Amino acid sequence: MTSNIFETDLPKTAANHVALSPISFIERAASVYPDYTAVVHGDVRRTWAETFERVKRMANALAKRGIGPGRTVSAMLANTPEMFELHFAVPMTGGVLNTINTRLDADTVGYILNHGEADIFMVDPEFVEIAKGAVARSGRDLLVVDVPDAMYEGDNAPIGATTYDALLREGEAGEAYWKPDDEWAAISLNYTSGTTGDPKGVVYHHRGAYLNALSNAHDWGMQPHPVYLWTLPMFHCNGWCYCWTLAALAGTAVCLRAVREKPILDLMRREKVTHFCGAPIVLNTLATAPDALKKDLPVPIHAMTAAAPPPAAVIKRVEAMGITVTHTYGLTETYGPAVVCAWKAAWNDLSDDERAAKKARQGVRYTVLEDIMVADPDTMEPVPHDGATIGEIFFRGNNVMRGYLKNPAANAAAFRNGWFASGDLAVMHEDNYIEIKDRSKDIIISGGENISSIEIESVLYRNPRISEAAVVARPDERWGETPCAFIVLKPGEVMTQDEVIAYCRQNMAKFKAPKTVIFEDLPKTSTGKVQKYVLRQKARRMNES
Amino acid sequence: MTSNIFETDLPKTAANHVALSPISFIERAASVYPDYTAVVHGDVRRTWAETFERVKRMANALAKRGIGPGRTVSAMLANTPEMFELHFAVPMTGGVLNTINTRLDADTVGYILNHGEADIFMVDPEFVEIAKGAVARSGRDLLVVDVPDAMYEGDNAPIGATTYDALLREGEAGEAYWKPDDEWAAISLNYTSGTTGDPKGVVYHHRGAYLNALSNAHDWGMQPHPVYLWTLPMFHCNGWCYCWTLAALAGTAVCLRAVREKPILDLMRREKVTHFCGAPIVLNTLATAPDALKKDLPVPIHAMTAAAPPPAAVIKRVEAMGITVTHTYGLTETYGPAVVCAWKAAWNDLSDDERAAKKARQGVRYTVLEDIMVADPDTMEPVPHDGATIGEIFFRGNNVMRGYLKNPAANAAAFRNGWFASGDLAVMHEDNYIEIKDRSKDIIISGGENISSIEIESVLYRNPRISEAAVVARPDERWGETPCAFIVLKPGEVMTQDEVIAYCRQNMAKFKAPKTVIFEDLPKTSTGKVQKYVLRQKARRMNES
C-alpha cells in the first residue's frame, strides 16, 4: 500500500474548516441585508440589523448571567419576536434553548424544568399560571424572566424577577459572543411526549440545525426573502428549524399569537405572506373561513403540513384559494420534517382524489437526511417496495438527534444497528415513497400535538372506580386523531362518558383528554396483553358507521 | 464548573452522524426521480436511474482497476456525459478526480499527470495529440482510456489501451461502492496557474463539495429540476461544483462540446434551458449573435458569470434577451464561486449604468462561506468599509480548499492567521459588498482562464534576443483581460511584435500568448524591481486613448 498523498500535510485549519452553526446565517443576514425586515409583530417591525443587535445584546446579557455551554434557558412563549430572537441569542452563549409546549400542564412543565436543569425561564404573560406552578414543582432556583407582549390581551400579572427588556439592557451588542468549535455541540432541547409518562428531552446540535435549516429551503424550493407566517408554534422542534431557515434566506418572520382565521388571513394580505407551516388543522381553519375573509390573498401561498396526511377535501379547498400544499413527515427526534412528499409534475394531471392519495403519502427523504428505511424491526430487513408489506420506519442522517438527555435506556431503544427507530409503521411503495399505515402504537397526534396513550391510561388507572383502561387513536377529520378510551369499571361502579372526560381534564393537559369514551371489555391475547390493534380497528369503524 | 449534561452519553453514531458527500445527492436523485432526465447530449438522453446505473458500474470498474483512496483519475474531456459521470464514479471509489484544462499544452499536462500521480487518464478524441505528448512527458505508467464522443466531428485516432464503454462493461452496478467515513477525504484535484511556472494542485474534500453544491442552489435561488446548459467547462472547479448541485436538485445536465452561439441558442430552445454559467465572454457571444438565432428563447433564463465583471453593455444586451445575470467571484481555491453579488430589489429602479456598476461588484459571501475580509496583508487589519481603501481579499470557510498538493511552501503562503489569502486586491463598500480593484498582480484572467504573467515572462527570458520582459494584464472588452508584454531587446537585436507573439505561441498554450507587445524600457524601483503597477496603468491607458 503506497501512502495516501492527499492525506499528507493538508490538515484542517481555521481557514478551511469551520463548525457549522445557524449563528452564521444571522451574521450573514445582518451583514448583507441589514435593512430587510426580519420580524413583524403587530406594530413592531425590525430589520435584520436591528434584530441581530438585540440578539447580540441578549446573548451578552445571558452570558453575564452565567449562561454558557452546559446551561439551559427554558422558554414558555407565544410566537413573538423575543421567542425568535432567543433561537439565536441562547446558542450565541453556548447555552441550550429549551422551548416548552405552552399547552402542557404545570406538572409536566415542572418536570421539564427540573430534568433539563433550566437556569433561566422566560415566560409569556398568557402562561404565568402554569409557569408559576411549574417553577414550584421544578425544585430549581430559577431566574424567571417575564416577556411582556403588547399583543397579549389578558391582564395576568408578571411573576418574574426581571423582564426581557431589562435583561436586554444588561447586555452589550459590541461584545464578543460564543461560536462553536465543534458543530456537535448542543443547541436546543425539545421535550417530546414519549410512550411513557415522562417526556423525553431531545438534544439537537449546531450541525443538524444548520443542515436541516438549509434542507427546508432546498426541498421546499424556497427562494431568498420569503415572508413566513408563524402559524406553527416555535416551540415545536424550533419551529421545525424555520427560525434558522429564515435567517439563511434573510426572510421575514411574521409573528402570530394565536392560530385564528381572521388574523391569519389579514396578515397574509398585509404582509404579502409567501409561506407558512402547520398541522392540517391550520389548513382546515383557512378552508372553512368565511369567503369574505379570503378575498385578495397574495397567491400563490405555499403551505407545508405535517403530523397527519392532509385530507383530500381540505387540499381541494385550500388549493382553490391559491394555497399549494406540501406534505412532510418527521419527529421531534429528526428536527421536525425529514421526509417530504416530493411532488412530481406528472401527478398534476390526476383526478383530485388520486392527487390527494399521492399527497397523503409521507414521501422521500429530505436532501440532508442520508437514508430512510422501512424494515422488519426484529431483523432490520427492509420490506419489499410493494406498497403493502408493513414495517417500521428507520432514519439515518445528520438531522437525527444527538439523543435523549440523561436517558440511556431510551437511547438504547431508539438507536438500533446504526439507525434511529421511529416507532411508526409504514409501507414502502414501488416508487420509493413511504406511506404511514399506523402511527407508533402508543402515540396519538391530535392537532399536531403528540399525546401519549400510556400517560392517559395511567391517569385513568389512578381513578378508584376504573378497573381497566386502554387508549387508542380515533381518526378525526378536524384534528387528525383524537384519543379514544376503552374502559372497564370496577364491579358496581357507575361513571358517565362526561365524568371520565372531566376527570381526565383535571389531571392532565386539557388537550390530552379523551374525546371518546367507550365502556366495554378489552380484547386480550392468551397471555393477557390488551390487543390494541383490535381497539384501533373499532375506533376507525366508528367513523365509518 | 459543573459538568456539561449535554456532553454526557450522547455520542456520534451511524444513525445520527454521516459524512457529508455529494454521493448522497445522486443516490437521492436516482431513488426519488429515477425517470427524470439527468443528461442530454446530442441524441443521448439518460435518466437519473440510468446515469446512476452507469456511475455505479464505472465506480466498480475503476475499483477493480485499483482506484481507491489516495489514487487519481485524470481526465482531459469535453463537456460530455462521461465527464459528468466521472464526478460521481471516481469519488465512489474513494479516488480523486483530476479534471484537466483542455487548453493546456503537453508539457503542462504532463507535469500535472506526474505531480497528481495519475493512474488512469481519460481522453477525449479532440485532445489526443496533447494527451499523447503529456503521457510521454509524465513519466507515469498510465492506463489511457479513450472516451469517444459521437458529437466529436474530427477524425483523430484513439490512443488508449481501452475505452470508456469497455471499462464500463468491466463493472457491476450491484456491487457495494465506497462512501467516506470522514467528510474531510479528498474528492478532486484541480490545477491552477499559480504565480510560478508550475501549476498548483488544489485539493477539494467531500464536505466542501457537498456544502458548496448546496450553496450554489441556495444563493442563486434555484428550484428543483433546473435545466442547466454546460457552457462552463466541467474542468473548471468541477464545473464550479454544479455537477453536484444538479444531482442535489435532480436537474438536467445539457452537455455542450463547444461554446458557439448557434448550438447554445438551439439547445436553450430545444431543452428549455433555465440556467447556465460562464465567463462574460459567453454572455458576449450571446449578446452579439444574429437576431434570427435569438428568437423564442424560453425566458427567463438565468446566467451566472465570474472571472471578470460583466460589462454594462453586455448586461444590457443579454437582459434585453430575457437573460438575468448574477455576478459571482471565487478562485479555484474556493471551489469556484464563494462570493456573490446578491441583488437587491431596490436596485431595479436605478439607471442602466448604475445597475451595471452595482452588478460589477463581486459582492458578499456565499451562505456556506463563513467569512470574507478585505485587509492589509501585512497587519491583517480589515480596511474601513469606505469603498476606497484597498486591501487583499481573505476567505475563511468550509468551501476553502484543503490545500495545495505536495506543496508546503505554497500552503504556508496561502494560509495566514486562520485565513486564505487570495492575492486579489479590493475595496470594501459601506454596504459590505467587496469590489476588486486589481487582480492578484501576477495573474491575468482571459476569457475565464487564469494565465500566469511569470510563466510568460520566463518563456520570454529564454529567448536569446530578449534582455528584459514584464507581462501585465490589459483590460479587454471581449476577453476581460489579455496579456500585454513590455520588452527590452538586447543591444543590436531586432524583433517585431508578431515575432514575439509567434515565439510565445510555440512555447506555451496558445491562449496564454501576449496579445500586445510593447518595446520600451521598464520602470524600476531604486532597488531595481520592476514597477508593475506603472505598466498596468500604461496598459489601461492604451484602451482609453
DSSP per position, A296-332: T--S-EEEEE-SSPPPHHHHHHHHHTTEEEEEEEEEG
The CATH number given to whatever domain includes residue B428 is 2.30.38.10
Give the per-residue pLDDT at B441. 64
Q: What does pLDDT average to over chain A?
A: 94
Residue of A nearest to B373 (CA): A15
B495 and B526 inside one domain? yes
Same domain, yes or no: A391 and A484: no
At B126, is the pLDDT very low, low, confident or very high (cuts 50, 70, 90)? very high
Helices B206-220 and A206-220, packing angle to 10 deg: 40
Containing H/E element for A403? strand A403-404
CB pair distance less than 8 Å for B5 and A117: yes
Among B535, B464, B451, smallest CA distance to B503 is for B464
A119 with A143: CB under 8 angstroms?
yes
Contact (CB, 8 A) for B170 and B152: no
Q: What is the pLDDT of residue A157?
A: 96
Domain contains B330: no
| The three three-digit cell numbers of residue A47, written as one number | 430589520
- Per the structure block, which three cell numbers stand in for B343? 441583488
Let me know whether A375 and A402 are in one domain: yes
> Is residue A507 domain-resident?
yes
Among A318, A398, A387, smallest CA distance to A356 is for A318
Is B9 a member of any domain?
Answer: no
Contact B398 A217 (CB under 8 A): no
Q: Where does A321-390 show beta strands of DSSP type E? A: 323-331, 336-340, 364-365, 369-375
Q: What is the number of residues in chain B?
A: 545
The residue-averaged pLDDT of B324-353 equals: 95
Are A509 and A461 in the same domain?
yes
Measure in Å the smallest separation between the Cα of B313 and chain A Cα atoms. Answer: 27
A447 & A534 share domain: yes
User: Are A529 and A449 members of one domain?
Assistant: yes
Neighbours of B272 (CB within 10 A): 13
Residues of chain B contacting residue A342, judged by C-beta atoms under 8 Å apart: 32-33, 224
Query: Comparing B357 with A21, which gets the higher pLDDT?
Result: A21
Work out the percent of chain A whose per-residue pLDDT is above 70. 98
> Is it the case that residue B305 has pLDDT exceeding 60?
yes
State yes or no: pLDDT of A195 exceeds 60.
no
pLDDT at res. B352? 86
Structure confidence at residue A197 (pLDDT)? 61
Mutate to test the interface with B, among A5, A214, A341, A430 (most CBs of B within 10 A): A5
Residue B156 falls within a domain, yes or no?
yes
- CATH code of B535's domain: 3.30.300.30
At residue B1 the predicted structure's pLDDT band, cuts being 50, 70 and 90, is very low
Span A358-396, pLDDT tens digits? 999 999 999 999 999 999 999 999 999 999 898 999 999
Pick A18's closest partner by Cβ from B16, B221, B370.
Answer: B370
Question: Cis peptide leading into B300, omega within 30 of 0?
Answer: yes
Contacts of A218 in chain B (CB under 8 A): 214, 217-218, 248-249
- Residue A183 in contact with residue A198, Cβ under 8 Å? no
* Cα–Cα distance for residue pair B169/B58, rounded to 1 Å: 8
User: What are the φ/ψ torsions at residue A35 (nearest 5 degrees)?
Assistant: -95, -5
CA torsion A372-A376-A381-A385 (nearest 10°) is -60
State whether A540 and A447 are in the same domain. Answer: yes
If one counts the domains in chain A, the total is 2
Residue A148 lies in a domain: no
For A186, which of B6, B14, B117 is closest by C-beta distance? Answer: B6
Residues above pLDDT 90, as percent of chain B: 81
What pLDDT, on the 0 to 100 scale, is given for residue A255?
Answer: 98
Q: What is the pLDDT of residues B187-212, one digit of tens each?
A: 999 998 755 568 899 999 999 999 99
CB contact under 8 Å between B405 and A2, yes or no, is no
* Residue A494 scores a pLDDT above 60: yes
pLDDT score for B141: 95
Separation in Å, CA of A186 to nearest CA in chain B? 6
B334, part of any domain: no
- Compute how many other C-beta atoms are within 10 angstroms of the C-beta atom of residue A108: 24
In a shared domain, residues A475 and A518 = yes
Whether B364 sits inside 8 A of A32 (CB atoms) is: yes
| Closest chain B residue to A394, measured at CA | B15
Q: What is the DSSP letter of B344?
A: -
Chain A residues close to B17, C-beta within 8 Å = 184, 398
The alpha carbon of B137 is separated from its chain's Cα centroid by a whole number of angstroms, namely 25
**For the CA atoms of chain A, what is the radius of gyration?**
24
pLDDT at A256 over 60: yes
Highest mean pLDDT among A465-474, B132-141, B484-493, B533-542: B132-141
Q: Is residue B505 part of a domain?
A: yes
Q: What is the pLDDT of residue A437?
A: 81
- Chain A positions touching B3 (Cβ under 8 A) are 70
Whether residue B105 has pLDDT greater than 50: yes
Last residue within a domain, chosen from A416, A438, A460: A438
Hey, what's the cell of A516? 371518546
Please, how many CA atoms are within 13 Å of residue A150, restricted to the half-sphere of its CB?
8
Q: How far apart are CA B433 and CA B120, in angstroms?
A: 43
The whole-angstrom distance between residue A233's C-alpha and the CA centroid of its chain comes to: 7
Please report the DSSP string for A133-149 in residue order.
Answer: HHHHHHT---EEEE---
A520-524, B11-15, B395-399: least confident range: A520-524
- Contact criterion met (CB < 8 Å) for B3 and A70: yes
Determine, yes or no, domain membership for B490.
yes
In angstroms, the separation between the Cα of residue B276 and the nearest Cα of chain A is: 18
Binary contact (A6, B405; C-beta < 8 A) = yes
Q: What is the pLDDT of residues B407-435, one digit of tens each?
A: 999 999 999 999 999 988 899 999 999 99
Lowest pLDDT segment from A148-157, B40-49, B119-128, B301-310: B301-310
For position A519, what pLDDT does the model report?
95
Cα–Cα dist B239/B284, whole Å: 20
Closest CA to A220 of A192, A248, A261: A248
Last residue of a domain, one of A419, A438, A457: A438
Rounded CA-CA distance B307/B481 in Å is 10
- Distance to chain B for A24, nearest Cα, Å: 7
d(CA A19, CA B319): 39
Q: Is the pLDDT of residue B11 over 90?
A: yes
The three cell numbers of residue A448 are: 399536531
**Residues B57 and B202 placed together within one structural domain of the fold:** yes
Same-domain status, B422 and B389: yes
Domain check: are A386 and A430 in the same one?
Answer: yes
Can you name the residues that pair with A444 across neighbouring β-strands? A451
Residue B218: pLDDT over 90: yes
Contact A248 B8 (CB under 8 A): no
Select the residue of B24, B203, B342 nearest A6 (Cβ to Cβ).
B203
* Nearest to B296, CA basis, from B273, B328, B326, B314: B273
Cα distance between residue A68 and residue A96, in whole Å: 8
* A95-to-A10, A119, A318, A533 alpha-carbon distances in Å: 33, 10, 41, 43
pTM score, whole prediction: 0.91
- Reported as a pLDDT band with limits 50, 70 and 90, residue A109 is very high
Averaged pLDDT, A124-137: 98
Q: What 8-state DSSP symbol labels residue B530?
A: B
What pLDDT does A141 receive?
A: 95
Question: Please, are residues A280 and A49 in contact by the beta-carbon 8 Å criterion?
Answer: no
Cell numbers for B512, please give them.
496564454
Residue B348 dihedral angles phi and psi, to the nearest 5°: -60, -25
| B528 and B515 assigned to the same domain | yes
Cα B418 to Cα B400: distance, rounded to the nearest angstrom? 11
User: Measured between alpha carbons, how far is A499 from A483 in angstroms, rounded to an integer?
Assistant: 16
Helices (H), ranges, A308-402: 312-320, 352-359
Gyration radius (Cα) of chain B, Å: 24
CB contact under 8 A, A401 and B16: yes
Is the separation of the CB atoms in A52 and A27 below 8 Å?
Answer: yes
Using CB atoms, which residue from B4, B18, B117 is nearest to A370? B18
Option in B9, B31, B34 nearest A411 (CB): B9
Count other C-beta atoms under 10 Å from residue A169's C-beta: 11
- State the best of B3, B6, B72 to mutate against chain A, taking most chain A CBs within 10 Å: B6
d(CA A296, CA A299): 8
Pick the closest to residue A194 from A461, A426, A405 (CA basis): A405
Residue where a domain stops, chosen among A438, A454, A469: A438
Which of B24, B370, B401 is opposite residue A24, by nearest beta carbon? Answer: B370
Would you state the cell numbers that stand for residue A300, as one nine-digit string?
Answer: 400563490
Q: What is each CA distance from B143 to A207, B100, B140, B391, in whole angstroms?
A: 41, 16, 9, 46
Cα of B97 to nearest chain A Cα, Å: 12
Subunit contact A32:B342, Cβ cutoff 8 A:
yes
Asked if the Cβ–Cβ distance from B6 to A367 is below 8 Å, we say no
For position B123, which CATH number holds? 3.40.50.12780
Dihedral sign from CA coordinates of B222, B228, B229, B231: positive
In the predicted model, is pLDDT for residue A196 greater than 60? Answer: no
Helix orientation angle between B453-461 and B497-507, rounded to the nearest 10 degrees:
110
Question: Distance (Å, rounded) from C-alpha A125 to C-alpha A78?
Answer: 9
Provide, as residue numbers in chain A, all residues whose Cβ is less than 8 Å from the Cβ of B224: 221, 342
pLDDT: which is higher, A480 or B116: B116
- The parent domain of residue B535 ranges over 443-544
Q: Which of B6, B224, B398 sits opposite A18 (nearest CB)?
A: B398
Crossing angle of the two packed helices A48-64 and A81-89, in degrees rounded to 10: 60
Distance CA(A275)–CA(A251), nearest Å, equals 10
For chain B, what is the mean pLDDT?
Answer: 94
